[in-house]
Amino acid sequence: MLIIALVDDSFIKGRISVEGGKRARMRALTRQKILQTALALFAERGYFGTTIDLISKRCRISKGLIYHYFTNKQDILVAVLEEGLRAGYDLLKGLEDIPDPFQQFAVMIERSFDEMLRNEAYWRLYFHVLLQPGVLELFAQRLTAFYQESIQYFVLLFRRMNVTNAEIEARLLTAMLDGLGLHYFLVGRDFPLAAVKNAIIQRYSRPLDGNVDR
C-alpha cells in the first residue's frame, strides 16, 4: 500500500491551518469538511456515483457554497487525492525512527497491511479513480514523485539490509504490496492476508536465506 495514499477518517480533520484570522480558519474548516465528506462518499459510491448535491447535504451546506471552495467536481477529486498522498508520506516518515533495518522493514510491512484493512474503501477509490481515463493526468506528477520517493526509501533500506539489486527489489516489493491489496479487494474476504504478510517479512528477514525455499 504504497503508491496509493492511505486515508482514514481522521487525517483530514487534523490539518486545519491555525494561522490566519477567524475568517480564514472558518474557511479552512469548511474546506476540510467538504473534502472529508467527498472522500467518504467517493469511497462509498464511486466518483460518478457521488453528486455535488449529496456532498452538500452530508456537509449540511448549500450546493453553491461548494463552488466557493472548489471550481469543479474534478477539483474536489484532485484535492482528495492530494490529501491521500500526504497520508502516504506520513506512513513512510514515521518509520525512520526504527534503527534496525530488518525491524523497520517488518514494521513497515505490518503497518502497510494494517492500513489496507482499515481504509479498504479508500484504497478502492484510489485505484479506481486513478485508472479512470483522464484522471491520472491531473495527478500524474505528484503520484510519480511519491512513487519515486517510496522506491528510494526501500532502496536505502534494502542497502542497509544488504539486499542486492536494491532498486529492482524495491519495485518488486511495492508492486507486490499493491497487488496484494488489489487481489484482496477483488477476490474477497477469505484471502490469507496474515500468512502472506508473514511470508513477506520472513523473506527479507535476517539471516540471509533465500526467498524461495526448496
Partner DNA sequence: TATGAATGAGCCTTCATTCAT
Partner DNA sequence: CATGAATGAAGGCTCATTCAT
CA distance 211 to 104: 18
Is residue 182 a contact point for DNA (CB under 7 A)? no
Is the separation of the CB atoms in 98 and 110 below 8 Å?
A: no
Q: Which of 73, 118, 128, 142 binds DNA (CB under 7 A)?
A: 73
Q: Which does 164 bind (CB under 5 to 8 A by kind): DNA, a copy of itself, none?
A: a copy of itself
Q: Could you say which of 16, 30, 44, 111 contacts a copy of itself (CB under 8 A)? A: 44
Stretch near DNA under the rule CB under 7 A, chosen from 35-43, 72-80, 141-149, 172-180 = 72-80
189 binds DNA (CB under 7 A): no
Q: Pick from 16, 25, 27, 92 the residue near DNA by CB under 7 A.
A: 27
Query: Could you say whether residue 17 binds DNA (CB under 7 A)?
Result: no
Q: Is the dihedral of CA 60, 64, 68, 73 positive or negative?
A: positive
Shortest distance (Å) from residue 14 CB to a copy of itself: 26
- List the single partner that 10 binds among DNA, a copy of itself, none, CB under 5 to 8 Å by kind: none
Residues 96-155 that bind a copy of itself (CB under 8 A): 124-125, 127-128, 130-134, 136, 140, 143-144, 147-148
* Nearest-angstrom CA–CA distance, 107 and 178: 17
Let me know: does 17 contact 31? Beta carbons within 8 Å. Answer: no
Reported in sequence order, the residue ranges of 20-154 that DSSP labels E, i.e. its strands, are none
- Does position 203 interact with a copy of itself (CB under 8 A)? The reply is yes
Q: What are phi and psi of 57, to 5 degrees?
A: -70, -40
Tell me: does residue 210 bind a copy of itself (CB under 8 A): yes
Q: Which does 105 bind (CB under 5 to 8 A by kind): a copy of itself, DNA, none?
A: none
Q: What is the dihedral of CA 159, 165, 169, 171, to 10 degrees?
A: 100
Contact residues for 103 (Cβ-Cβ < 8 A; gap 6+)? none
